[in-house]
């Protein structure tokens, strides 16, 4: 009997899912995260989930892990001291950047530009030059370079980035510099990242900042992965550790340590993968995903069962060129703190968060600030007398402490405690609604064509209200919504990609040349899967092109099938580009098209895990499933009677009429008045307005 374990580390909780690989039997657990060292929370969770399932940890053969270590390293500014080697004349590449100031026309007035993560004082120049066609115009001069690297060594650099102009076309000089560092032992044991390996694409700023970010997080991620492997080996036998990438695929522990820039959106990607897995089995392939945790909310769009991808990943002030699920994040979570600035007297919620420590006031762990969770407790959406955090009977909710924290907001607004709490929830819902519009309406999609799936520890509490705001139905609340990210970790596959810049107008190339390049890129990306022992028969490959109209500065990424390219020629790509351009900008041009970057993504077959079905029942839930049918919630400006249900006792076919609160180990679901939730065969709760019927 062997088991596979999914582990997702969030800002407040660490979620675990244990899967029996033979029977598909599932076990979940939720433990507090340990921000000082995430691995402690992981090991606490492993102990708990194995104890719950009565399984010996040594039976676990694979651990799939979504981690925020790389993300938090950038957000907290605690990465390595990075030295940068660039071409002579390009020393200020990070300082010049793209001259982009966020905000409106007057954004520059309040904009404080953050310092580059590789400072100018640690940047040196290499006397060399390669042309855009890859020709060596000036050979690398190694004498002065060796002296400059010695100076970097004296300054205590912890990682080195080599990013030379046009190295995407010819990596010869970057490799020579790395050999020089290693041969002469100028910087022993210091990791060296080459831009031609991390992102072999044109545009020197994007290539440099991406490779510098890789160096910045590399020592910390490598140390974390090493500690995790050591701890896992103590508890398990021959266990394989795989880390979730930003694009929703898995990478080996070694690949993750060497190229951690691909992990920056690892955490949110797990939730999207989990949402796709459960929704597809329920018959829904067009989704808006809504993942609300303790600290932030992540939203994304899924079309035809495939998550929208982005070629850029942003964390804080750092934007890198790395494939990721197109997730938008807002600082709105259960722990988001509400406040009323004295100057404006207007209620604000977030982005500051109470986090895991001390947490909301209701958690009784020392928190006193009013949070979204406290507001939900005050108006009865989280029944304090029933809910146990993470299923821990020792960890009760304190309504009195929640009320005390909300009083400060109520006094400042001149409202009752209930109305102030309802106001906090309305504000945070509007913040999250804005994020959902970013991934749908502003990308040319109509939200009414999509179902909304709510998960995360706090998502099911707010999902019905978000569905109402954006008009996406049904609102799907999956079983175990608080641990869905861990489902995503377990049910995704190992993958890698290979890309290159190939700037050609359609008239200057042909389908044979482009097809050959894609075939070579596929072979290159397959090497990672070869090293992992993935059988070739289980692999699939997808192909992407970054393309534009000739004369444009920006590109659009187009996915296509290689067989279509062989059959129709470059028109197979061009026609799709025209369609996508029209969707995004309402028009397309009768203009010459130009290829910019080509990319092949190779994936292994994912583990087939079937969601368990729930027993059939009647339309009316059983009395046994009702915990309290006389509960009171404050909704629509007044107290209303609500029924509280135990989700584990609900049956397929049950229809729950709102107002209702549904309790389970890892989350609480709210159904608003005027809405109902029907339980499907997998135990999903499908919420619709009463006006739409069941």
Q: What is the pLDDT of residues 401-441, one digit of tens each?
A: 999 999 999 999 999 999 999 999 999 999 999 999 999 99
Whole-number Å distance between alpha carbons of 13 and 391 = 12
> Quick one: 421 and 500 in the same domain?
no
Cβ neighbours around 540 below 10 Å, total: 11
Q: What is the pLDDT of residue 492?
A: 83
Same domain, 590 and 631: no
Mention every residue, 6+ apart, whose C-beta is less than 8 A from residue 65: 6, 7, 8, 9, 42, 228, 241, 242, 243, 244, 489
Verify that 447 and 519 share a domain, yes or no.
no
3-state secondary structure of 138: strand
Domain endpoint, select from 603, 638, 653 = 603
Q: How far apart are CA 203 and CA 515, in angstroms?
A: 24
* More reliable by pLDDT, 25 or 174: 174
State the pLDDT at residue 140: 94
- For residue 449, is it within any domain? yes
Residue 187, classed as helix, strand or coil, is coil
- pLDDT-derived band at 488 (thresholds 50, 70, 90) equals confident
DSSP 113: P
Q: What is d(CA 519, CA 130) in angstroms, rounded to the nearest whole number?
A: 26
Return the top range by mean pLDDT from 79-83, 327-331, 342-346, 611-615: 79-83
Q: Which one-letter DSSP state was computed for residue 592?
A: -
The mean per-residue pLDDT over the stretch 661-675 comes to 92
| Residue closest to 80 by CA, chosen among 263, 178, 192, 218 | 218
* Shared domain check, 581 and 685: no
Structural domain contains residue 62: no
* 392, pLDDT greater than 60: no
Provide the token pair at 228: 């995790």
Predicted local confidence at residue 641, as pLDDT: 95
Residue 214 and residue 340 in one domain: no
**pLDDT at residue 512 above 90?**
yes
Please work out, in degrees rounded to the nearest 5, the angle formed at the alpha carbon of residue 55 by the alpha carbons of 51 and 57: 90
What count of residues does the chain have?
A: 694
Helices H / strands E in the chain, number of each:
18, 35
Confidence (pLDDT) at 233? 87
Instruction: Identify whether 157 is part of a domain.
Output: yes
pLDDT top residue among 355 and 255: 255
Domain count along the chain: 4
In-domain check, residue 227: no
- Mean residue pLDDT of the chain comes to 89
Evaluate if residue 546 carries a pLDDT over 90: yes
Residue 545 backbone class (left: φ over 0; alpha: ψ -120 to 50; beta: rest): beta
Interatomic CA distance for residues 124 and 325, integer angstroms = 35
Q: Which residues are CB-contacts of 149 (< 8 A; sequence separation ≥ 6)?
A: 85, 124, 180, 181, 186, 187
- With pLDDT > 70 as the criterion, what percentage of the chain qualifies? 97
- Would you say residue 273 lies in a domain? no
State yes or no: pLDDT of 567 exceeds 80: yes
Residue 391's pLDDT is what?
52
Asked, for residue 7, whether it belongs to a domain, the answer is no
Give the span between the Cα atoms of 585 and 578, in whole angstroms.
10
In CATH, what number is assigned to the domain containing residue 367? 3.30.420
Going by pLDDT thresholds of 50, 70 and 90, the confidence category of residue 529 is: confident
355 plus 466 within the same structural domain: yes
pLDDT of residue 218 exceeding 80:
yes
Shared-domain flag, residues 664 and 532: no
Helices (H), 379-483: 399-413, 417-439, 459-470
Highest mean pLDDT out of 344-353, 603-612, 664-673? 664-673
Q: pLDDT by residue (tens digit) across 139-165?
A: 999 888 988 998 888 898 999 999 999
pLDDT over 90 percentage in the chain? 53
**85, burial (CB in 10 Å: exposed 0-12, middle 13-18, buried 19+):** buried
Q: Which domain holds residue 366?
A: 285-473
Confidence at residue 334, expressed as pLDDT on a 0 to 100 scale: 86
Are residues 383 and 531 both part of a single domain?
A: no
Task: Record the tokens describing residue 450, joined without a space.
Answer: 């999509």
Q: How far apart are CA 457 and CA 12, in angstroms?
A: 9
Annotate 490-539 with DSSP letters as a single string: HH--BEEEEEEEEEEEGGG--HHHHHHHHHHHHHHHHHHHHHTT--GGG-
Going by pLDDT thresholds of 50, 70 and 90, the confidence category of residue 1 is: confident
| Residue 276 confidence (pLDDT) | 92
Average pLDDT over residues 547-553: 92
| Residue 57, in any domain of the structure | no
pLDDT band at 30; cut points 50, 70, 90: confident
pLDDT of 378 over the 60 cut: yes
Selected residue with higher pLDDT from 607 and 33: 33
Cβ neighbours of residue 321 closer than 8 Å, sequence gap 6 or more: 199, 201, 203, 206, 207, 210, 311, 312, 313
Looking at 218, 238, 272, which one is the last position of a domain? 218
Instruction: Show which of 585, 603, 621 is a domain's final residue.
Output: 603
Confidence (pLDDT) at 533 = 79
Same structural domain, 298 and 374: yes
Residues 427 and 520 in one domain: no
Structure confidence at residue 395 (pLDDT)? 65
Please check whether residue 210 lies inside any domain of the structure: yes
Encode pLDDT of 431-485 as tens digits. Answer: 999 999 999 998 889 999 999 999 988 999 999 999 999 999 999 999 988 888 8
State phi, psi for 597 to the nearest 5 degrees: -125, 140
Residues 640 and 528 in one domain: no
Bridge partners of 637, per DSSP, are none
pLDDT at 694: 47
Enter the DSSP assignment of 691: G
Element (H, E) at 485: helix 484-491
* 626 and 597 within one domain: no
Q: For the segment 161-212, what is each residue's pLDDT rounded down to a tens digit?
A: 999 999 999 999 999 999 988 876 777 788 999 999 999 988 899 999 999 9
């Amino acid at each position: 009997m062997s088991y596979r374990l999914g582990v997702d580390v969030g800002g407040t909780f660490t979620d675990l899912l244990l899967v029996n690989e033979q029977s598909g039997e599932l076990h979940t657990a939720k433990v507090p995260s340990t921000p000082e060292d995430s691995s402690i929370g992981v090991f606490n969770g492993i102990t708990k989930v194995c104890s719950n399932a009565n399984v010996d940890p040594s039976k676990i053969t694979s651990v799939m892990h979504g981690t925020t270590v790389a993300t938090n390293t950038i957000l907290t500014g605690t990465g390595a001291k990075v030295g940068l080697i660039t071409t002579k004349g390009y020393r200020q590449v990070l300082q010049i950047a793209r001259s982009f100031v966020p905000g409106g026309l007057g954004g520059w007035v309040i904009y404080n530009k953050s310092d580059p993560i590789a400072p100018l004082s640690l940047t040196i120049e290499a006397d060399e030059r390669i042309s855009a066609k890859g020709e060596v115009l000036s050979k690398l001069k190694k004498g002065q370079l060796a002296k400059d690297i010695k100076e970097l060594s004296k300054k205590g650099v912890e990682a080195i980035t080599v990013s030379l102009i046009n190295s995407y076309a010819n990596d010869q000089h970057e490799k020579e510099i790395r050999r020089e560092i290693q041969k002469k032992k100028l910087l022993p044991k210091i990791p060296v990242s080459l831009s031609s390996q991390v992102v072999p694409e044109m545009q020197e700023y994007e290539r440099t900042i991406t490779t510098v970010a890789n160096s910045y997080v590399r020592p910390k991620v490598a140390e974390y992965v090493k500690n995790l492997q050591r701890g896992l080996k103590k508890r398990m036998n021959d266990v394989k550790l795989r880390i979730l990438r930003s694009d929703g695929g898995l990478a080996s522990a070694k690949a993750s340590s060497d190229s951690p820039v691909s992990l920056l959106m690892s955490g949110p990607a797990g939730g999207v993968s989990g949402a796709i897995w459960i929704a597809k089995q329920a018959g829904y392939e067009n989704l808006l995903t809504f993942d609300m945790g303790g600290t932030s909310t992540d939203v994304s769009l899924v079309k035809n069962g495939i998550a929208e991808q982005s070629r850029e990943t942003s964390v804080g002030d750092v934007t890198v060129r790395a494939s990721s699920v197109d997730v938008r994040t807002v600082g709105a979570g259960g722990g988001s703190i509400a406040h009323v600035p004295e100057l404006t007297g207007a209620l604000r919620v977030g982005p500051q968060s109470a986090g895991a420590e001390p947490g909301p006031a209701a958690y009784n762990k020392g928190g006193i600030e009013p949070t979204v969770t406290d507001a939900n407790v005050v108006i009865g959406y989280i029944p304090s007398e029933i809910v146990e955090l993470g299923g821990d009977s020792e960890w009760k909710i304190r309504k009195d402490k929640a009320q005390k924290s909300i009083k400060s907001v109520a006094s400042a607004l001149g409202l009752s405690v209930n109305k102030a709490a309802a106001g906090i929830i309305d504000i945070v819902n509007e913040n999250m609604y804005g994020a959902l519009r970013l991934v749908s309406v502003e990308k040319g999609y109509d939200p009414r064509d999509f179902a909304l799936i709510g998960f995360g520890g706090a998502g099911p509490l707010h999902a019905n209200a978000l569905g109402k705001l954006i008009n996406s139905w049904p609102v799907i609340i999956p079983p175990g919504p608080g641990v869905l990210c861990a489902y995503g970790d377990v049910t995704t596959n190992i993958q890698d990609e290979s890309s290159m810049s190939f700037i050609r107008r359609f008239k200057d190339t042909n389908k044979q040349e482009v097809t050959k390049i894609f075939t070579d890129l596929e072979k290159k990306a397959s090497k990672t899967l070869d090293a992992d022992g993935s059988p070739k028969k289980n692999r699939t490959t997808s192909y992407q092109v970054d393309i534009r109209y000739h004369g444009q500065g920006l590109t659009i990424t187009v996915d296509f099938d290689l067989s279509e390219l062989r059959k129709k020629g470059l028109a197979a790509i061009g026609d799709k580009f025209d369609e996508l351009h029209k969707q995004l900008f309402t028009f397309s041009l009768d203009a010459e098209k130009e290829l910019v970057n080509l990319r092949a993504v190779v994936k292994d077959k994912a583990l087939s895990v079937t969601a368990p079905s729930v027993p059939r029942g009647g339309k009316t839930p059983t009395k046994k499933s009702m915990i309290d049918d006389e509960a009171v919630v404050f909704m629509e400006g007044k107290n209303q009677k609500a029924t509280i249900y135990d989700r584990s006792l609900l049956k397929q076919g049950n229809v729950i009429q709102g107002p209702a609160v549904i309790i389970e180990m890892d989350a609480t679901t709210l159904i608003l008045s005027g809405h109902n939730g029907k339980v499907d065969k997998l135990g999903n709760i499908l919420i619709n307005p009463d006006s739409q019927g069941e």
